[in-house]
């Protein structure tokens, strides 16, 4: 038989709701001595709160929901872990659901999480949600709990959002190649119509245009963020006579490296590479790739802070937080010198 | 205004519970014509079931819970994805929670999932649960919903369990090295006291003993399944004068490869390696490692089948399913010949 709220109340000679308020650190008119006594009784008797009983009184579930597009993708599994670890420190449990990158699932899973009781929702929308913005926004607008959009956002939609500046990341990556003397620079881009891939292409174009470099049609190669598409892109890179390539994610960079190795094309001696995500270097044995780091743990903890602020301080103004990605320099870029035309 | 069960009932001139039974394919005394009519009305009006309304009638939530030790670990994130995809085909949503490999979280999260309503529970226990078997078993014994232990199990505890034969996997790996002529074979083992790591060490020992090969004390090197510990183990491997090593997971094998590359020790020319999990080869660029494959998707789908069988057929006998791991041969092992002692 476990020790219950009412047992503590009886022993401390206070009401059950007083015990609940004290153990949940809510403001109440109870003396510090009495508070200490209540906490001591709870501790001595190894009291663990019953979630249902607590939520009846506090209306809180101490649970957050997280909708994620693909739990198998290292970026998202690390993000999930970061959110989970941070929430745990504040006494919140995280319930995770996977949308399989389908916007219909985004809609269903919001309902599912609401029906199970959560205090707040984190959501990284599916890529297909960009073609159904109205449906998603209308669903989110009706929520009566706080929510935070993470990583994938709608720029014009007013809500809590925490994400990285993808234009800036791609700009930094491409500019770094230009600074090393490169002029003919390919770009392997995700063809799926998402805000983040559009922004990364924008950053590449911006850097090229700023330096008066032309983007020939065969410089732009489409992929799908997976290893195989980077491998396939390798064939185009081998043909298009560029000296450097900006790859818009690490998995495609890995595929490209596999294809180049087959043809004995060396990095950086024969081709310079800069990539995106900085998740690959852990797995590479004899080289490291210059890459744009999106600090996953920062993304997760800032999103949690926004959520907790909203809940604890009843803050109602929406936060729009754009985080800066960082260029991590490794040895995958060679300096080259072009001869000036006479 | 969405189309509801009662609207279908009115249009088909039957009771609401009749509609519910038909749409959930439950046995009922309704003519096939009427059944077809009910389904047509639902389809024509784009009816989507309300989970709460349905669970009031059927007592089902159409949701399973999954407790996983570390969502960032590729093996578990792939397992999660496999279970999620398979459940989805049968109309079930998966709610995932991460225990951070702490048995106290296993206990808490079982309560949390129960309080939120699930029809069944999948659980991969934390490693620390092996030191608290009684607590976990007592909690599981009290469950009134079906549950399946996955991958990490208690051998003596009677319940649904689906897992791989770890003794056999390690035996196959080690025997393969022996078949290539190796006699001095190191073993990098996980020092954490879990059933799976004990079994893998057992398999290594069994193969060595069967062939009359001695295990010298410096052959056995402890790690923790992470890259760094494999890297550190490299120093011991370099010193102990063995020609081959059985590494009990891929992340430690990756760390070992990094250390060997620093010393220009070539695989397989200077050292033969066989590893465990077969998750690393996707990431390797210029080599591939012979490894024991535990088919994650098979583990996930078999566990789902056990669960669905339990639920749909009200089967009460516990299933104990031990899956066979498979040796995937790549070019990380060299044949060697020892000169016979006179």
Prediction pTM value: 0.81
**pLDDT attached to residue A76:** 94
Mean pLDDT along residues A6-12:
86
- Which of A51, A81, A88 has its CB closest to that of B72? A81
Q: How confident is the model at residue A50 (pLDDT cuts 50, 70, 90)?
A: low
Q: What is the residue whose two structure tokens read 């929702």? A: A121
Choice between A15 and B219, residue whose per-residue pLDDT is larger: B219
Query: Residues B250, A271, A273, A237: what is their CA dihedral angle, to the nearest 10 degrees?
Result: -90
CB spacing of A80 vs B72 below 8 angstroms: yes
* B226 pLDDT more than 60: yes
Q: Which of A74, A83, A86, A96 to mutate to test the interface with B (most CBs of B within 10 A)?
A: A96
- Asked if A99 and A139 touch (Cβ cutoff 8 Å), the reply is no
Q: How confident is the model at residue A145 (pLDDT cuts 50, 70, 90)?
A: very high
Mean pLDDT along residues A289-314:
93
Taking only the tens place, the pLDDT of each residue in A95-112 is 999 999 999 999 999 999
Taking only the tens place, the pLDDT of each residue in B135-162 is 999 999 999 899 999 999 999 999 999 9
* B52 pLDDT more than 50: no
List chain B residues with CB under 8 Å of A282.
227
Domain with CATH 3.40.50.2300 in chain B: 63-164+296-325, 166-294
Q: How high is the mean pLDDT of chain A?
A: 90
User: Range with the lowest mean pLDDT among A91-100, B57-66, B72-81, B264-273?
Assistant: B57-66
Mean pLDDT along residues B237-257:
95
Q: Across-strand partners of B273?
A: B245
A139 touches chain B (CB under 8 A): no
**pLDDT attached to residue B28:** 78
**pLDDT attached to residue A1:** 43
- Picking from A18, A331, A338, A293, the residue whose alpha carbon sits closest to that of residue A173 is A293
Mean pLDDT along residues B195-209:
95
* A316 pLDDT more than 50: yes
Q: How far is B183 from chain A (nearest CA, A)?
A: 28
Mean pLDDT along residues A20-36:
82
**pLDDT attached to residue A20:** 81
* CATH 3.40.50.2300 matches A63-164+296-325: yes
Q: What is the residue whose two structure tokens read 């890995």? A: A254
**pLDDT attached to residue A48:** 61
3-state secondary structure chain B: CCCCHHHHHHHHCCCHHHHHHHHCCCCCCCCHHHHHHHHHHHHHCCCCCCHHHHHHHHCCCCEEEEEECCCCCHHHHHHHHHHHHHHHHCCCEEEEEECCCCHHHHHHHHHHHHHHCCCEEEECCCHHHHHCHHHHHHHHHCCCCCEEEECCCCCCCCCEEEEECHHHHHHHHHHHHHHCCCCCEEEEEECCCCHHHHHHHHHHHHHHHHCCCCCCHHHEEEECCCHHHHHHHHHHHHHCCCCEEEECCHHHHHHHHHHHHHCCCCCCCCCEEEEEECCCHHHCCCCCCEEEECCHHHHHHHHHHHHHHHHHCCCCCCCEEEECCEEECCCCCCCCCCCCCC
The CA distance from A81 to B45, in Å, is 41
Q: Name the residue of chain A whose CA is nearest to B53's CA.
A: A115
Q: How far is B11 from chain A (nearest CA, A)?
A: 26
Choice between B338 and A330, residue whose per-residue pLDDT is larger: A330
* B125 pLDDT more than 50: yes
**pLDDT attached to residue B340:** 59
* A30 pLDDT more than 70: yes
Mean pLDDT along residues A211-240:
95
- Judged on CB neighbours under 10 Å (0-12, 13-18, 19+), A338 is exposed
Q: How confident is the model at residue A341 (pLDDT cuts 50, 70, 90)?
A: low
Largest CA distance in chain B: 95
**pLDDT attached to residue B1:** 43
Q: How confident is the model at residue A157 (pLDDT cuts 50, 70, 90)?
A: very high
Percent of chain B with pLDDT over 70: 93
A98 touches chain B (CB under 8 A): yes
Mean pLDDT along residues B221-240:
94
B97 touches chain A (CB under 8 A): yes
Choice between B16 and B215, residue whose per-residue pLDDT is larger: B215
Q: How high is the mean pLDDT of chain B?
A: 90
Specify the fold of B166-294: Rossmann fold (3.40.50)
Backbone angles phi, psi at B306, to 5 degrees: -60, -45
Residues 6 or more apart from A26 whose CB is under 8 A from it? A20, A58
A-proximal residues of B, 11-40, CB under 8 Å: none
- Which of A63, A78, A284 has its CB closest to that of B72? A78
The CA distance from A298 to A162, in Å, is 10
CB spacing of A283 vs B286 below 8 angstroms: no
- Which of B72, B284, B285 has its CB closest to that of A77? B72
* B164 pLDDT more than 80: yes
A-proximal residues of B, 251-280, CB under 8 Å: 254, 257-258, 261, 280
Question: Alpha-carbon Rg of chain A, whole angstroms?
Answer: 25
**pLDDT attached to residue A56:** 47
The CA distance from B76 to B172, in Å, is 23
Q: What is the residue whose two structure tokens read 């500019």? A: A175
**pLDDT attached to residue B18:** 84
Q: How confident is the model at residue B50 (pLDDT cuts 50, 70, 90)?
A: low
Q: DSSP for B251-266?
A: HHHHHHHHHHHHTT--
- List the structure tokens of B324: 């066979």
Q: How confident is the model at residue B48 (pLDDT cuts 50, 70, 90)?
A: low
**pLDDT attached to residue B2:** 56
A53 touches chain B (CB under 8 A): no
**pLDDT attached to residue A293:** 97
């Amino acid at each position: 038989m476990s020790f219950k709220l009412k047992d503590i109340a009886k022993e401390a000679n206070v009401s059950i709701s007083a015990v609940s308020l004290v153990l949940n650190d809510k403001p109440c008119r109870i003396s510090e001595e009495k508070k200490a006594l209540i906490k001591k009784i709870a501790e001595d008797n190894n009291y663990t709160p019953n979630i249902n009983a607590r939520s009846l009184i506090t209306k809180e579930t101490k649970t957050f929901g997280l909708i994620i597009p693909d739990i198998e993708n290292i970026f998202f599994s690390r993000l999930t872990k970061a959110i989970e670890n941070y929430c745990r420190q504040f006494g919140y449990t995280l319930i995770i659901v996977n949308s399989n990158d389908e916007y219909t699932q985004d809609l269903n899973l919001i309902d599912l999480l609401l029906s199970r009781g959560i205090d707040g929702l984190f959501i990284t929308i599916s890529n297909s949600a960009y073609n159904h913005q109205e449906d998603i926004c209308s669903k989110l607008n009706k929520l009566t709990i706080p929510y935070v959009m993470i990583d994938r956002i709608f720029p014009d939609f007013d809500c809590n959002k925490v994400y990285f500046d993808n234009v800036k990341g791609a700009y930094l990556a491409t500019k770094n190649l230009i600074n090393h003397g490169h002029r003919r620079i390919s770009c392997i881009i995700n063809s799926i119509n998402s805000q983040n891939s559009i922004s990364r292409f924008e950053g590449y174009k911006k850097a090229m245009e700023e330096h008066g470099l032309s983007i020939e049609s065969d410089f732009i190669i489409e992929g799908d963020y997976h290893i195989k598409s980077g491998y396939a892109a390798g064939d185009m890179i081998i043909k298009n006579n560029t000296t450097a390539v900006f790859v818009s994610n690490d998995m495609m960079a890995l595929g490209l490296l596999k294809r180049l190795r087959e043809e004995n094309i060396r990095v950086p001696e024969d081709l310079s590479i800069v990539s995106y995500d900085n998740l690959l270097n852990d797995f590479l044995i004899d080289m490291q790739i210059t890459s744009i780091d999106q600090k996953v743990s920062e993304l997760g903890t800032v999103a949690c802070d926004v959520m907790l602020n909203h809940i604890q301080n009843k803050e109602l103004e929406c936060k729009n937080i754009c985080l800066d990605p960082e260029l991590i320099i490794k040895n995958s870029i060679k300096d080259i010198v072009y001869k000036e035309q006479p």
